């Protein structure tokens, strides 16, 4: 295709249309609203390796979980979360390939632009040889199968390719060691959140 097209539709319609997904004309849905139901709360807990006590963080720092439904051939953007956070991805259905670049990767080598706290987005397609005509930087590849949970440490660039129709839950979390840095960087208008977090740290 010539680019990304954003559309809004009913979930049932999307599930039907996703059967037509293929490389070059793929479907990818990301939604937090689809999980906003009390009956689902117990199924949306973050991985057990979360550091104890972080579930008591104020809501502004709580890990947000979203549902991802990808059709065959769909890819996410090559991106990096803020350096104070780590990511997790639980594959409920399907098969996914991941491309991971370590924190030492030169930004220029992947054509990335960085934002707040070291987050960033790149236009490169890690799974296309055309993106690496000048040589590809060190890249780790992972195949994620149904039931696998992938943890992505802070600072790593990530991109995934859905090899078949897939359903995943994903989220981010802050590590205890990074909490002081996060509090220091919160906007001035986040007074209540800052106060609650400082109290927790003390």
Could you report the per-residue pLDDT of 154-173, keeping only the tens digit for each?
889 999 999 999 999 998 87
Domain for residue 176, yes or no?
yes
Would residue 15 count as lying in a domain? yes
Whether residue 6 lies inside any domain: the answer is no
Query: Are 70 and 131 contacting, i.e. CB atoms less than 8 angstroms apart?
Result: no
Q: What is the pLDDT of residue 198?
A: 46
127 is in which domain, residue-wise?
11-201
What's the CATH code of the domain at 145?
A: 2.60.120.650
Q: Is residue 135 part of a domain?
A: yes
pLDDT of residue 3 exceeding 90, the answer is no
What's the CA gap between 21 and 25, in Å, rounded? 6
Between the alpha carbon of residue 122 and those of residues 79, 144, 167, the distances in Å are 6, 22, 24
Q: What is the pLDDT of residue 43?
A: 66
- pLDDT tens, 45-89? 667 666 555 555 666 566 678 899 999 999 999 999 887 788 899
Helix (H) or strand (E) holding 162, with range, is strand 157-162
Residue 1 lies in a domain: no
Domain assignment of residue 5, yes or no: no
Model pLDDT, residue 197: 44
- 78: in domain: yes
pLDDT at 189 over 60: no
pLDDT (tens digit, 9 = 90+) per residue, 102-113? Answer: 999 999 899 899
If one counts the domains in the chain, the total is 1
Cβ proximity of 68 and 34 under 8 Å: no
Whether 16 maps to a domain, the answer reads yes
């Amino acid at each position: 295709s010539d680019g990304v097209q954003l559309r809004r539709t009913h979930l049932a319609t999307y599930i039907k249309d996703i059967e037509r997904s293929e490389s070059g004309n793929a479907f990818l849905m990301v939604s937090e609203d689809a999980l906003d139901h009390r009956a689902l709360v117990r199924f949306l807990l973050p991985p057990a390796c979360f550091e104890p006590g972080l579930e008591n963080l104020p809501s502004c720092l709580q890990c947000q979980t979203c549902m991802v439904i990808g059709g065959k051939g769909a890819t996410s953007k090559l991106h990096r979360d803020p350096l104070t956070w780590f990511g997790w991805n639980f594959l409920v259905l399907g098969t996914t390939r991941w491309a991971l670049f370590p924190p030492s990767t030169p930004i220029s080598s992947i054509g990335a632009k960085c934002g707040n706290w070291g987050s960033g987005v790149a236009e490169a397609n890690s799974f296309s040889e055309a993106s690496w005509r000048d040589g590809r930087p060190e890249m780790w590849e992972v195949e994620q199968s149904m039931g696998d949970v992938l943890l992505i440490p802070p600072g790593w660039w990530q991109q995934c390719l859905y090899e078949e129709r897939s359903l995943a839950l994903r989220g981010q979390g802050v590590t205890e060691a990074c909490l002081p840095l996060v509090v220091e960087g919160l906007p001035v208008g986040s007074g209540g959140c800052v106060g609650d977090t400082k109290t927790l740290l003390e």
